[in-house]
């Protein structure tokens, strides 16, 4: 099903959606290329210390990220 069909079903502005989809965004293009290079296939993906975590972080990793960092 075409995205504008979904837009119409949701009562969204199909013209605005088409314009958005045509818009070039270099930052988004870089992010997509990086995801492809890292072989990431979905969202959310968290990358911690170079290791990707799909669909969320394990509790042990999340706990480490909650700890304050001593920058000194």
List the pLDDT tens digit at each of the 72 positions of the chain: 566 677 788 888 888 888 887 888 888 888 889 888 888 888 888 888 888 888 888 998 888 888 887 777
Do 47 and 60 fall within a single domain?
Answer: yes
Do 1 and 23 fall within a single domain?
Answer: yes
Boundaries of domain holding 11: 1-37
| Count of domains observed in the chain | 2
Do 1 and 33 fall within a single domain?
Answer: yes
Do 21 and 52 fall within a single domain?
Answer: no
Cβ 21 vs Cβ 28: under 8 Å:
no
Do 47 and 70 fall within a single domain?
Answer: yes
Cβ 61 vs Cβ 48: under 8 Å:
yes
Do 9 and 28 fall within a single domain?
Answer: yes
For 19, the 3-state DSSP assignment is helix
pLDDT for the residue 3: 66
Do 9 and 30 fall within a single domain?
Answer: yes
């Amino acid at each position: 099903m075409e995205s504008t069909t979904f837009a119409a079903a949701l009562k969204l502005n199909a013209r605005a959606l088409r314009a958005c989809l045509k818009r070039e965004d270099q930052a988004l293009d870089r992010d997509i290329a990086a995801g492809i290079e890292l072989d990431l296939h979905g969202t959310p993906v968290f990358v911690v210390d170079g290791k990707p975590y799909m669909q969320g972080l394990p509790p042990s990793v999340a706990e480490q990220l909650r700890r304050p960092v001593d920058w000194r």
